[in-house]
């Protein structure tokens, strides 16, 4: 019987943690698919310039493929910035039996809940399960809005851009008032 393992590489996954995620169980063929979510910064996201982040994620995937070459059949690809969206895309290409999350730091409880919604067992290596906090829920909401999975994304983008334009208009008006005041002061 073959086993299909989807590995999600998060921040700072070490070689030992990547190897620990592939725990050999049984005698069957192990098929592994590695997905590394791209790390897109706010400016890159606003400019829709995710090329560099995709290349870096692709390099992390290649390194993991090389490390796991002796464990079984390994393939992978760079994923979207949202780990849940990256897993969703990977599951369209790879019929996983299990999801293994590898990285360092705290595993966001809302991320874990979202990954479990795919109906597959989820394990993690190198991560400590962090408590569900207000900040983690906020991150989950922001991640959902930024990825476009929320029905509110267009509304938030519309309101956000209009507030930005309003702020720009207020700053320009204050600057113009300052120039007029200074001109009146020196004349």
- pLDDT tens digits along 26-42: 566 789 999 999 877 66
Top CATH class, 3-150: alpha beta
Domain boundaries, the chain: 3-150, 151-187
**49 — phi, psi (to 5°)?**
-110, 85
- pLDDT tens digits along 101-125: 998 887 777 788 888 999 999 988 8
Q: Model-level pTM?
A: 0.70
How far apart CA 121 and CA 130 sit, in angstroms, is 18
How far apart CA 120 and CA 45 sit, in angstroms, is 30
User: Confidence class of residue 48 from pLDDT cuts 50, 70 and 90?
Assistant: low
């Amino acid at each position: 019987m073959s086993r299909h393992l989807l590995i999600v590489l998060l921040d700072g996954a070490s070689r030992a943690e990547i190897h620990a995620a592939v725990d050999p169980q049984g005698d069957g063929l192990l098929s592994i698919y590695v997905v590394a979510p791209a790390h897109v910064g706010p400016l890159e996201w606003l400019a829709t310039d995710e090329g560099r982040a995709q290349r870096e994620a692709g390099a992390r995937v290649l390194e993991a493929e090389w490390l796991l070459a002796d464990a079984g059949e390994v393939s992978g690809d760079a994923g979207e910035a949202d780990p849940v969206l990256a897993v969703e895309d990977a599951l369209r290409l790879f019929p996983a039996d299990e999801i293994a999350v590898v990285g360092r730091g705290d595993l966001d409880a809302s991320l874990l809940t979202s990954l479990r919604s795919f109906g597959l067992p989820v394990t993690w290596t190198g991560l400590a399960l962090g408590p569900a906090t207000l900040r983690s829920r906020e991150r989950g909401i922001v991640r959902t809005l930024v990825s476009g999975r929320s029905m509110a994304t267009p509304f938030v983008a519309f309101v956000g851009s209009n507030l930005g334009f309003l702020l720009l208009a207020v700053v320009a008006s204050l600057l113009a008032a300052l120039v007029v005041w200074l001109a009146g002061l020196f004349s």
